[in-house]
Homo-oligomer: A and B are copies of this chain.
Amino acid sequence: MAKELKEVVNKEENYSQWYNNLVVKAGLAETSAVRGCMVIKPYGYAIWEKMHEVLDKMFKETGHQNAYFPLFIPKSFFSKEAHHVEGFAKECAVVTHYRLKNDPNGKGVIVDPEAKLEEELIVRPTSETIIWNTYKNWIQSYRDLPILCNQWANVVRWEMRTRLFLRTAEFLWQEGHTAHATREEAIEEAKRMINVYADFVQNWMAVPVIIGHKSENERFAGAEDTLTIEALMQDGKALQSGTSHFLGQNFAKAFDVTFANKEGKLDYVWATSWGVSTRLMGALIMAHSDNNGLVLPPKLAPIQVVMIPIYKGEDQLAEINVKLEEIASQLKELGISVKIDARDNVRSGFKFAEYELKGVPVRLAMGPRDLENGTIELMRRDTLEKETISREGIALHIKNLLDEIQQSIFNKALKFRESMITKVDTYDEFKKVLDEKGGFILAHWDGTVATEELIKEETKATIRCIPLDAPEEDGVCIVTGKPSKRRVLFARSY
């Protein structure tokens, strides 16, 4: 087993360390010299690029355009929306000066005290304020609506406890910001986009999600309603994977953005915003991987098939390579990404472990006996099953296998998630399930912030969402015994 792999701790032993080991050893990301900021390494970035590409296409197919807004936001902008400032302006990077100068007392450079900004600038933690200040000039009449913009950008939130991909001071994301003439249209947009996210996370990342509304307490700062998709990780904790907000007229009122409607009357504009981030990388890693390393769904794997020649001497390598190149070109014709690893300075066993660590969905290995027999050894990463198969018709076989793996990974995650949803009717049971089993808990809640906060304080579990498909069901709150109309979804979470 490769040296890299040996240093990955088992997930049953220490889930959190297993995750960190994986991220670093598989070459996805690493910490940097700047507290809380990560370096996304080429292999990790290649996965993010695929996510970006697929999502961007989905956004465009639903009528959105990309644009770019400033990195900096004047401090005063945050005070304009009362909830927003509480949620975002507190833990943030503040630019106060615009120049350094040589240190008169010695080496290096110091901040030039004369280059102090009149108004401090905040490095965007999210862009509602600067964007609505811009939209003000774009909107006069209903004919200027809707505005359907998305931005791919970096944002900064000064998190105290950070973890690669899951919670970093700087992260990459996309933020959609739309402006509408009616409340209904904005609500519809917010729903459309949470469905786009669910589609992406389920059908590309192979991670099942539950769609629902956030409780008032967990809502985005400045939103009237927040829709969320919640995924379950293998340790039984939930991970919020994407959110879409109906912002009402809050930002329009804060930035005085009005429009003349069809009747010629002035009204405030209705808004949504929605985003997913590099946090999805964390979800992808944690949902599928095992103690051998990453398990990547084929649709997002930068390398879908790796081929390794097993040989003695240059002549044999050349012979095997001819065959591998043939298969590679057949696979490429089918749109499958392939890598042939013929490095001569590491042993095959090392390569096997390395590509298992990197989660490459299919591994082909070909030795002298295969050469004779017209066969090849195939291993699928998700199940680690090996078989020796004929090279006849192999390209199509692999194409179908990749589809099967994609589906199989999803099914496995879904089965696990289903097994980890527990209905409870008492607070004792609630606590017991949380501690002994984990996962999602469906329970009745009286709908108050006070109860929610009490539960959070006592159990560290929060309401992940009020599922869209939660059936009406009369019950009583597990804490207060007050009446409740439907169960909500609780979990401990990332």
- 0/1 per residue, A69-92, Cβ < 8 Å to B? 111111111110000010001111
Q: Return chain B residues, CB-CB under 8 Å to A111.
A: 75, 94, 96, 120
* Residues of chain B within 8 A of A89, CB atoms compared: 100, 109
Q: Which B residues are CB-close (under 8 A) to A67?
A: 39-42, 45
| Stretch with Cβ within 8 A of B (4 or more), from A29-37, A408-416, A417-425 | A29-37
Which B residue sits closest to A143, measured CB to CB? B345
**Binary per-residue interface labels of chain A (280-316) against chain B in the complex, 1 for a CB within 8 Å, 0 otherwise:** 0000000000000000000000000000000000000
Query: Is the CB–CB distance between A95 and B72 below 8 Å?
Result: no
Q: Is the CB of B99 within 8 A of A92?
A: yes
A39 in contact with B66 (CB, 8 Å) = no
Alpha-carbon distance between A113 and B133 when the two chains are bound, in angstroms: 28
From 397 to 413 in chain A, residues with beta carbon under 8 angstroms from any chain B beta carbon are none
CA distance A77 to B38 in the complex (A): 17
- Would you call A74 and B158 a contact (CB within 8 A)? no
A46 at the interface (CB under 8 A from B): yes
Q: Nearest chain B CB to A428's CB is how many angstroms away? A: 40
Within the assembled complex, what's the spacing in Å between the Cα atoms of A74 and B130? Answer: 27
- CB neighbours (8 Å) of A210 from chain B are none
What separation, in Å, do the CA atoms of A292 and B41 have in the docked complex? 46
Q: How many Å lie between the Cα of A79 and that of B93 in the bound state?
A: 22
A471 within 8 A of B: no
Chain B residues, CB < 8 A from A93: 72, 95, 97-98, 121
> Which of B30, B33, B101 touches A77 (beta carbons < 8 Å)?
B33
Q: Counting CB contacts under 8 A, is A156 at the interface?
A: yes
CA distance A157 to B48 in the complex (A): 27
Are the C-beta atoms of B66 and A49 separated by less than 8 Å? yes
User: What residues of B have a CB within 8 angstroms of the CB of A383 in the complex?
Assistant: none
Q: Do B39 and A65 have beta carbons less than 8 Å apart?
A: no
Nearest CB of B to A137, in Å: 8
A68 touches B45 (CB 8 A): yes
Q: Which residue of B lies closest to A278 (CB)?
A: B68
Tell whether A172 is near chain B: CB-to-CB under 8 Å. yes
Size bracket, chain A contacts: 35 or more
Decide yes or no whether A107 CB sits under 8 A from chain B: yes
CB-contact partner of A94 in B71, B96, B149, B158, under 8 A: B96
Let me know if A130 and B68 touch, CB within 8 A.
no
Bound: A85/B100 CA distance, A: 10
A134 within 8 A of B: yes
Bound complex: CA A134 to CA B79 (Å): 38
Contacts of A37 in B (CB 8 A): 70-72
Contacts of A364 in B (CB 8 A): none
Neighbouring B residues of A109 by C-beta, 8 Å: 75, 78-79, 85, 89-90
A76 touches B130 (CB 8 A): no
Residues on B with beta carbons closer than 8 Å to the beta carbon of A90: 99-101, 109
Task: Please measure, in the bound complex, the distance between the C-alpha atom of A363 and the C-alpha atom of B39, giving whole angstroms.
Answer: 46
**Which among A71, A74, A75, A77 has the greatest number of chain B C-beta atoms within 10 A?**
A71
A69 and B32 contact, CB distance less than 8 A = yes
Report how far A90 CA is from B108 CA in the complex, Å. 12
- Give bound CA distance, A74 to B34, whole Å: 7
Contact status B95-A39, CB under 8 Å: no
A133-B134 Cα distance, complex, nearest whole Å:
38
The answer for the CA separation of A176 and B93 in the assembled complex, in Å, is 27
- For the complex, give the distance between the alpha carbons of A99 and B70 in Å: 20
A140 within 8 A of B: no
- Quote the shortest CB–CB distance from A71 to chain B (angstroms): 5
Are B39's CB and A70's CB within 8 A? yes
The residues in A between 327 and 371 inclusive whose CB is less than 8 angstroms from any CB of B are 345
Find out whether the CB atom of A96 lies under 8 angstroms from the CB atom of B97: yes
Residues of B within 8 A of A71 (CB): 37, 123, 154, 156, 170
Partner of A133, one of B33, B101, B120: B33
Interface flags for A106-137 (1: CB within 8 Å of B; 0: not) read: 01110100000000111100000010011001
A residues sitting closer than 8 Å to B (CB atoms) are 30, 32-34, 37-42, 45-46, 48-49, 65-79, 85, 89-101, 107-109, 111, 120-123, 130, 133-134, 137, 143, 149, 153-154, 156, 158, 170, 172, 345
What 19 new A-B contacts, CB under 8 Å, besides A39-B69, A79-B108, A90-B99? Answer: A33-B74, A34-B70, A34-B72, A39-B67, A39-B134, A45-B67, A49-B66, A70-B170, A71-B123, A75-B100, A89-B100, A90-B100, A90-B109, A93-B98, A94-B99, A99-B158, A111-B120, A143-B345, A154-B154
Of all A-B residue pairs in the complex, the 8 with the closest CB atoms, nearest first, are A37-B70, A42-B65, A40-B68, A79-B108, A94-B97, A98-B158, A96-B96, A34-B70
